[in-house]
Amino acid sequence: MQLLNETLRCLPKSGATKSYIQCLASVGWAAVGYQHHRHYASIPAIAMSHEQFDGPTPDASRSPLITMHGLFGSKQNWRSISRALAKQTNRRVYTVDLRNHGDSPHTDTHNSIGMTADLVAFTQAKSLSQTCVMGHSMGGRSAMHFTLSHPDLVERLIVVDISPVYIPGTIEDMTGIFKAMLQIDMPPDMSLSQGRQAAKEKLGETVDRSSVDFILLNLRKRPKTGEFYWACNVNVLLNSLPGFTRYGEHIANLPPYTGPTTFICGTRSPYME
């Protein structure tokens, strides 16, 4: 929290040093192709579900912060941190549900191009001339894509525990999890707690316990029919996984972002090697 707070409070308005994302751009990783702009028109934007947090004395001159969760996540993952950041930095903070997650609409496509279109639509709906963007994992890649393709809308970029570089093995791991989610049998006469237990046992065959508990935050039950469903769009996310390896192509030709950029990760994180 202290690092995030200092990042938002103290970073200079312009980058005095070469950012990590610029270094990646120099070897062809972190730059988004102008030729890809035509795709924005072909992927309709959705209205993202979101929550807004304001501190006791919000400063209207400060650009608001948009926080974005990772795969399987939702806006509730950032709720406590967003509330604290709003209080400590006097910025308005929005935490959003990315497409196919949480309370946001499900769509037939899921990639950083579509999520960037959603972010552009969000800034327009809120009449935001400039924002700070912070994303974790999948949300971090969305933040990078949005920043590189619309640098005029971004005051500063904060990326948590992810880089533009593909990490071998991650797609295979996620494929196993999604397939396990689709195979869980939860009849409507089960209670929510019984459904969670059945899902926990099935998922426990594939993933560790802490990950199971996180994934189960997506399990919901329709009051009228008793039907169980996943808040995240499991089928579309599963089918979109191969495209995740093409992220480098999606960010291949735009100029590097020269604004303030911070990458945050644990010292043993496998996602920032």
In this structure, the number of other CB atoms found within 10 A of the CB of residue 17 comes to 9
pLDDT at 83: 97
Confidence (pLDDT) at 42 = 72
- CB burial of residue 184 (10 Å; 0-12, 13-18, 19+): middle
Question: What is the structure's pLDDT at 166?
Answer: 73
**Residue 149 pLDDT:** 94
Which pLDDT score, from 0 to 100, does residue 21 have? 35
CA 72 vs. chain centroid, Å, equals 10
Q: Report pLDDT for 273.
A: 65
What CA–CA distances, in Å, run from 220 to 46, 75, 125, 209, 230?
22, 16, 29, 19, 6
Domain 2-166+245-264 matching CATH 3.20.20.100: the answer reads no
SS3 48: coil
Nearest to 273 by CA among 195, 176, 168, 193: 168
Q: What is the pLDDT, as a whole number, of residue 34?
A: 32
Residues in the chain, pLDDT under 50: 9-41
Domain ranges of the chain: 2-166+245-264, 170-241
Question: Quick one: DSSP state of residue 121?
Answer: H
Check residue 2 and give its pLDDT.
Answer: 52
Task: Read off the pTM.
Answer: 0.83
pLDDT in tens, 202-260: 999 988 888 999 999 999 999 999 999 999 999 999 999 988 777 777 788 888 999 99
Q: Rounded distance, CA 217 to CA 207, Å?
A: 15
pLDDT of res. 13: 37
Strand-strand pairing, 261-264 and 154-160:
parallel
